[in-house]
Amino acid sequence: MPQTKTVLNQAINERVKPVLFINKTDRLITELKLTPEELQKRFIKIISNVNSMIKMRQPKGVDWTVDVAKGTVAFGSAKKKWAINVPYMKKTGISFKDIIDACNNEKQEELAKK
């Protein structure tokens, strides 16, 4: 997470409200074979760590923490050219099961088109 910390510090120093992209989600599913529950735990840990860094550096009187429900956290695969956030999932009806199925069945290009 050193690169994340560096970029986060730079953004906050420039007074840019951060967003978070959790990359390589496909590899968590296809290579590490994480279950939906394990994915959720991994995401929560990452988001919590990032929010801790943000809270230490954000300007006083503002809340720049990232929040899945608000759409300031996205996840996906830069290599496979797809990304998604929870508000978009709700809007389109895409579920975590759909994402897991697409990754496991080599249909990630369909995610990129949605």
User: Residue 88's domain is classified under what CATH number?
Assistant: 3.40.50.300
Helix axis angle for 96-104 and 36-57, nearest 10°, is: 110
Considering the chain, what percentage of its residues have pLDDT values greater than 90? 84
- How high is the mean pLDDT of the chain? 93
Q: How confident is the model at residue 94 (pLDDT cuts 50, 70, 90)?
A: very high
pTM for this model (two decimals): 0.89
Q: How many domains does the chain have?
A: 1
Query: 64 lies in which domain range?
Result: 2-113
- Given a cut of 80, whether residue 59 has pLDDT beyond it is yes
Q: Which pLDDT band holds residue 68 (cuts at 50, 70, 90)?
A: very high
Mean local confidence (pLDDT), 17-44: 95
